[in-house]
Structure 1
Amino acid sequence: MAKGDEIRNELTGPGGRSVLQIGKVHGDLVWQQPPAPQSADESLREAVWRLARAVRDASTGVVQKWGISGSGALSVQWCTADDDLVDHWENIHDSNEPVPLEGHFTAVRETYQAVRSKRLVIVGQAGAGKTVLAHRLILDLLDTDGVTGPVPALFSLSGWNPDSTDLQPWLIQQLLRDFGFLHDKNPVTGETQAEVLVKEKLILPVLDGFDEISHQHHRAAISKISNIDYPLVVTSRPDEYREAAHAVKAVGRAAAIELQAVAREEAHRFLRLSASKSRSREWDAVFDRLNTQPDQTASQNLTRVLTTPLMVMLARTVYNDTPDHDPHDLLDIQRFPIATAVEDHLLDAYLDTVYARSDAGQRSARDPNWDPDRARHWLGYLATHLTQRDTHDLTWWYLPATLHRRTRILVTAAVSGLAAGLCIGLAAGLKMGLVSGLTMGLVFGLGFEVVFYRWLAERGPERLRLGPRWRDREPRSWLSHHKKSRSEFTSGLVLVIVIGVAFGLIFELAVGLMVGFAMVIVLALGDSYDPHATAPWTLLSRDRAVALVRTTTTIVLGFGLSYAGTKLPYGIAFGFLLGMWGLASSSWGSWLMFARLWLPLTGRLPWRPKRFLEDANARGVLRTTGAVYQFRHTRLRDYLADHHRS
């Protein structure tokens, strides 16, 4: 091989180290070792690194949106929690001497590392800053340990039922939901990387919101959290955690700290330093009144409100970011006779402020400018849905669940009946189309609700990536996809059994087999689970692609089967019916029918719900946690739900 003026021979590929060279010798013989395939350990290290980067990006976004990443951040302080919230000190660090855990916002890492067991419970009142402090701890630990130690990752406990699921399997489910690249499997054991990370203790779970678990599950939650023997962090409101600790015991081998109320001087410092000079003087006047007339009702109300970081942050947004608001208004006893009235005012004015901004999230001129009152109404509808389901996770594929079951049946029946009537009417006449459409629409509406709706909600959207097989890094085993294939085939068969009832069971089994096979064909075209399919709308686009391919395949097969024994118009009608009903049984089809049609038509959501949710996230009203949206704070969700109901 010639390389410039140098002539040499290269040998690439597997083989022994002894090589016999015959003929003319051109330079030195160079052994070129081919790149070794990536080992399981290397793949795991890459997964740890990618997870750490994703977690760091998410936590950085949270602290930046709250404006608490700089040196002027609001200083939250804490002390060692009451003794009944702490496990025996002998279990924590082999000594009965308590460890002082006092600290402040920028020293949370030092407090955590002072606990030898590395198991810490953070308790604080609503709005005290528990979640934000957890994100700060995650960032500090990643900055210290890099990716050499366990990766700290936040898990929202609101969706965990400890009576039915152990903690480790649930952690694995959450990792797979939020980080698609952890679906990759170990070529030897067949375990996903999420399973390996949890079992090898390479995850430091930050379990956020113990109080958000249903009350009847608190005892089981304490027991199952105590049973895992590696480092962790738990956050909770104090009353809920105290009640569970008294009923069972505190989390095993865990120390506990309790967040303190924000001092008046600290709230004053933060608000004046984050404002303009003129607005700072107005804050000085407000706090001067709080200091000189502390016994007045207005002073007591405002002092109480400004003891939580949440309300201090809202006051900064409402009064420091808008020139037409005067902080003196907060002392108006006629408008705000009690402290909760001040809190409600800040929450309401916060929404008006963020939706009045023209630069929220660096929006372009094409982005919608939502009316604050309409936005409040739509957000209130979503918040009511979440409180009724007793969850904080908002997903696009669960939006049909905001409707009453009877409404879902009627809407599904109407849409499918209209489609059936149109197709059959074109083939057999208007009268036959009306009768058949009404009958088949009602049958499919009931069948969809009874059979498919629960299945769709539990399964969630498709993560399948359609494309050629050669893109996979490793060959796919059909045996590993047997369960998925069986599920696809069964769902197709059940779909056409429902349709067959409307047809009087004619060709039911044959058509069911054809549609079932169509769904398996779609699975065969799938490359793998998409490692990037974690963001909510990436999941929507993946599910839409799968639904459209499956629908097209079903139409072709249904048309072919029908045309073999009927006239052409009937074959076309029957093929389109099968395709449209298959589309309706997908997560994207359900989203299209309810979230894009019925909910906007009835005023519950805007006509562009995807754009609305994205915009709410950009404005800071919603936050993303993996594949789900959540309201910025529980207090905001509950306020919007109460406002909507009233």
Structure 2
Amino acid sequence: MAEDGEIHNQSTGYVAGHSVQAGAVHGDILLLPQRSALLGAGEAQTKVVQDLATEVRTLSAQEMRHWGITSADALSVRWHTASEDLLDHWEKIHGVTGRDDRMSLAGHFTVIRDTYQAIHSKRLVILGKAGAGKTVLAHRLIIDLLQDTKVPGPVPVLFSLSAWSPASTGLQPWLVRQLLRDFPFLEARDPATRKRMAEALVDSEMILPVLDGFDEIPARHHPDAISEISDVDWPLVVTSRSGEYTRAAHEVNAVGRAAAIEVQDLSVEEAHRFLRLGTTKSRSPEWDTVFNHLRTAPGDTASQNLTPVLTTPLMVMLAHTIHNGTPARHPDELLDTRRFPTDTDIEEYLLGRYLDTVYRDRDTNSRGKRQPDWAPDRVRHWLGYLADHLGQRNTHDLTWWQLSTTLRRSTRILTTMGAVGLVGGLAGVLMVGLLSAVGGFVGTLAIGSSRALALGLAAGPAIGLAAGLATGLVNEVRLRHRHTAVEPERLRLRIRRNTERARHFPGTRKLLSGFNAGFAFGFAIGLVGGVLDFVSGLVGGFAVGLVVAPATGLAVGLVNVVLVVLGDSHDPREAVSPWQLLRTDRTVTLIRAILAGSTVGLSVGLVDGFLSTTVFGLVAGFAVGLMVTQAFLLRSTWGTWLLFGRVWLPLTGRLPWRVKRFLEDAYDRGVLRQAGSLYQFRHARLRDHLARHYRTKR
């Protein structure tokens, strides 16, 4: 069958016996089970769309619960149509020639879906000041649009724009990459186009991008971002702080064919109602006293300081958490002008006290586990480090595999050298110790003399340090080339596959690519090891390297092929999380490292055993295999996390020893939010507050 200049064979239905393809096989092979749900290509995509919609709705609902927001007790956030200079031409928004009438988009929290659907172009920009509740509003829109997940249609998916560099990456490929990161089951192939489902859904406009945080893109890239977003002619939603978007719109233009709304400040009455109803009847008069003062004395300093603070949803939520959740704290303290001479002082106080409040002892978290009792000053220090780390990277996305990227380059290289050198030293000691214990005098003769034993003790750490330096430099080259850490493996290894999903077999080109990459790296490691053996005067010298190099390359290449062949698409029923990616990457890394180390160790053992004695060959093979295994571990994403995230950063006091537990607990307490496979601080103001205090006390 010819299609787009390509020829392919297609067989459908039941086949009794063998199906034979004569000639060369190019590209990928896709086997689909004979099942009604997967018979048609369109039906296969529809099933994926439904799975994605269910997953997205669950994640947004989960975030709303963590914010403590329900329809009944939500703040009455309102908005109005933005000014004309922040919208495109009404004729383009309406999509009707000659119709340029301005329409009112005014509304409140519970009708955001109606507002969006009233826009013919289905392109909306949500504006507001910091803390106005734009992200919450975006999640509410997602939930409302996905009320009926059985109806196929574009799936609204939240994308954090802080991770996008529009100057180097187009919007469409970036969306595909983010989808693959956060929803690994979209790696599956579309039967119709043979593209990955993420790419197929983006190309067919089955994704409704909710682009959160335009203001988080560096200002120098705003023109490129506006241009890229405008060029994508689909329905979409953008959120941004008003000031940043206004400057970009005036410099370039507003987002093409997009209407815009601007979230209004809360009224004093709305804030009063929310805070008094959020506490007990016995304590609600305390808030009455505060708001009565604001109404009766609007001109005094206390009122002028506090009123603008309580018109921002974020600050009202913080005040609710701090004063309604802590009996010892009374809201009238916010009127004390000696403690709070400006409104900024009140905001900084609320941001600071928020952590003290949420880290008070709790019996259990949302998963039913007892929460750890962290020391408040240490919590502030650890969170401050993470906030400063994100600030240096100019992003809001906190990922476990990026934690080492803001350390000094020399620190990363020396730490890697030390780790591999330590194992090399242990391997040298182990090598000599086993020879002495097992072989005795024969073991000494096996390598020549007692001087050779001393050389073995010295060579172990030396080779380890050299290998560590090589590993550290390789990691730095990759980091410099990619401008970011290598992301975790997405493969899901299964011997028994799910017969209800399409099975995808990688084509010859992909298998060769995996083999070649593995062979090149393995050959280099083996050759360097052989040269170091020769320089160190070890038995076999360069002959060992000549065997180890191709053996290592062959091992790693074949391991890559096995991993690709056994890789299965992720099950959409399994929720994506940062730690799911960690477990997957750990599994792939351990298999690759152990198989490569075993093969290299066996090769060294055979060669050294042939050139020397069996005892020496066994011990040398084990020691070298151990060092190769560790080199592969430290080259991986999981190995880097293990060395820096679990050892170096806790050892230097930047993070606690139980990093995973700490991040999960911060999420349970509402300090962090989860966005697919990463964490973010609940709000940029909180992140900036913590980073600022961390830098001043460092």
Fold shared, TM-score > 0.5 on shorter chain: yes
- Residue of structure 2 in register with 1:492 after alignment: 522
SS in 2 for 1:182: helix
Q: 2:39 and 2:679 mapped to 1: Cα distance?
A: 35
Q: 1:145 and 1:151 mapped to 2: Cα distance?
A: 9
401-410 or 160-169, larger mean C-alpha shift: 401-410
In the TM superposition, residue 519 of structure 1 has moved relative to its aligned partner by 2.5
Instruction: Name which of 549, 556, 567 aligns with 1:519.
Output: 556
Q: 1:73 and 1:365 mapped to 2: Cα distance?
A: 28
| Runs (5+) with no aligned partner, structure 1 | 1-12, 17-33
Q: Which has the higher contact order (CA 8 A, sep 6+)?
A: 2
Instruction: Name which of 425, 430, 455 aligns with 1:426.
Output: 430
State the AA in 1 paired with 2:628. L
Identity level (%): 52
Instruction: Name which of 169, 182, 187 aligns with 2:173.
Output: 169
- Residue of structure 2 in register with 1:31 after alignment: none
In the TM superposition, residue 530 of structure 1 has moved relative to its aligned partner by 4.6
- Residue of structure 1 in register with 2:74 after alignment: 73
SS in 1 for 2:654: coil
Conserved in 1, the CA contact under 8 Å of 2:399 and 2:679? yes
- Residue of structure 2 in register with 1:452 after alignment: 475
Conserved in 1, the CA contact under 8 Å of 2:322 and 2:353? yes
Distance 1:14 1:540, change over 3 A: closer
Conserved in 1, the CA contact under 8 Å of 2:671 and 2:681? yes
SS in 2 for 1:251: coil
Establish whether residue 219 from structure 1 lines up as the match of residue 223 from structure 2: yes
- Residue of structure 1 in register with 2:656 after alignment: 606
Q: 1:310 and 1:499 mapped to 2: Cα distance?
A: 58
- Residue of structure 1 in register with 2:493 after alignment: 466
- Residue of structure 2 in register with 1:296 after alignment: 300
The TM-score normalised by the length of structure 2 is: 0.84
- Residue of structure 2 in register with 1:30 after alignment: none
In the TM superposition, residue 610 of structure 1 has moved relative to its aligned partner by 0.6
Map 1:301-380 onto structure 2 (within 5 A). 301-359=305-363, 361-362=365-366, 364=368, 366-380=370-384
SS in 1 for 2:680: strand
SS in 2 for 1:459: coil
Distance 1:299 1:577, change over 3 A: same
Q: 2:523 and 2:245 mapped to 1: Cα distance?
A: 48
In the TM superposition, residue 374 of structure 1 has moved relative to its aligned partner by 1.0
SS in 2 for 1:122: strand
Establish whether residue 528 from structure 1 lines up as the match of residue 558 from structure 2: no
Map 1:224-263 onto structure 2 (within 5 A). 224-263=228-267
Distance 1:365 1:119, change over 3 A: closer
State the AA in 2 paired with 1:612. F
In the TM superposition, residue 15 of structure 1 has moved relative to its aligned partner by 9.9
Distance 1:110 1:359, change over 3 A: farther
In the TM superposition, residue 495 of structure 1 has moved relative to its aligned partner by 3.9
In the TM superposition, residue 496 of structure 1 has moved relative to its aligned partner by 3.8
Instruction: Name which of 683, 692, 696 aligns with 1:633.
Output: 683
Q: Number of paired residues?
A: 617
In the TM superposition, residue 360 of structure 1 has moved relative to its aligned partner by 5.7
Q: Deviations over 1:49-70 (max 9, x none)?
A: 0110111011111222222213
SS in 2 for 1:294: coil
State the AA in 2 paired with 1:515. T
In the TM superposition, residue 450 of structure 1 has moved relative to its aligned partner by 2.5
State the AA in 2 paired with 1:517. L
In the TM superposition, residue 442 of structure 1 has moved relative to its aligned partner by 3.8
SS in 1 for 2:105: coil
In the TM superposition, residue 361 of structure 1 has moved relative to its aligned partner by 2.6
State the AA in 2 paired with 1:474. R
Conserved in 2, the CA contact under 8 Å of 1:420 and 1:440? yes
Establish whether residue 597 from structure 1 lines up as the match of residue 597 from structure 2: no
- Residue of structure 1 in register with 2:22 after alignment: none
In the TM superposition, residue 644 of structure 1 has moved relative to its aligned partner by 0.6
Distance 1:193 1:14, change over 3 A: closer
- Residue of structure 1 in register with 2:629 after alignment: 579
Distance 1:219 1:500, change over 3 A: farther
Conserved in 1, the CA contact under 8 Å of 2:401 and 2:485? no
- Residue of structure 1 in register with 2:590 after alignment: 548
Q: 1:547 and 1:200 mapped to 2: Cα distance?
A: 35
Conserved in 1, the CA contact under 8 Å of 2:359 and 2:374? yes
Distance 1:515 1:535, change over 3 A: farther
In the TM superposition, residue 502 of structure 1 has moved relative to its aligned partner by 3.9
Distance 1:607 1:641, change over 3 A: same
Conserved in 1, the CA contact under 8 Å of 2:428 and 2:458? no
In the TM superposition, residue 275 of structure 1 has moved relative to its aligned partner by 0.9
- Residue of structure 2 in register with 1:8 after alignment: none
SS in 2 for 1:111: helix
Q: 2:108 and 2:355 mapped to 1: Cα distance?
A: 30
State the AA in 2 paired with 1:205. P
Q: Alignment RMSD, CA only?
A: 2.2
Map 1:2-401 onto structure 2 (within 5 A). 35-36=35-36, 38-93=39-94, 94=96, 95-143=99-147, 147-359=151-363, 361-362=365-366, 364=368, 366-401=370-405
Conserved in 2, the CA contact under 8 Å of 1:425 and 1:434? yes
In the TM superposition, residue 108 of structure 1 has moved relative to its aligned partner by 0.9
In the TM superposition, residue 499 of structure 1 has moved relative to its aligned partner by 4.2
Q: Deviations over 1:226-252 (max 9, x none)?
A: 001111111111111111111111100
State the AA in 2 paired with 1:519. V
In the TM superposition, residue 412 of structure 1 has moved relative to its aligned partner by 0.9
Q: 2:115 and 2:148 mapped to 1: Cα distance?
A: 14
- Residue of structure 2 in register with 1:19 after alignment: none
Conserved in 1, the CA contact under 8 Å of 2:271 and 2:310? yes
SS in 2 for 1:468: coil
SS in 2 for 1:514: helix
Q: 1:97 and 1:563 mapped to 2: Cα distance?
A: 82
Conserved in 2, the CA contact under 8 Å of 1:427 and 1:570? yes
Conserved in 1, the CA contact under 8 Å of 2:124 and 2:237? yes
Q: 1:614 and 1:498 mapped to 2: Cα distance?
A: 42
Q: 2:512 and 2:575 mapped to 1: Cα distance?
A: 22
State the AA in 2 paired with 1:511. V
SS in 1 for 2:208: strand
- Residue of structure 2 in register with 1:563 after alignment: 605
Q: 2:373 and 2:657 mapped to 1: Cα distance?
A: 13
Distance 1:595 1:225, change over 3 A: same
Conserved in 2, the CA contact under 8 Å of 1:122 and 1:130? yes
Q: 1:188 and 1:90 mapped to 2: Cα distance?
A: 37
State the AA in 2 paired with 1:101. L
In the TM superposition, residue 475 of structure 1 has moved relative to its aligned partner by 4.8
421-430 or 538-547, larger mean C-alpha shift: 421-430
- Residue of structure 2 in register with 1:20 after alignment: none
State the AA in 2 paired with 1:74. L
The TM-score normalised by the length of structure 1 is: 0.91
Q: Deviations over 1:239-288 (max 9, x none)?
A: 11111111111100111111111111100001011111122111001111
SS in 2 for 1:143: coil
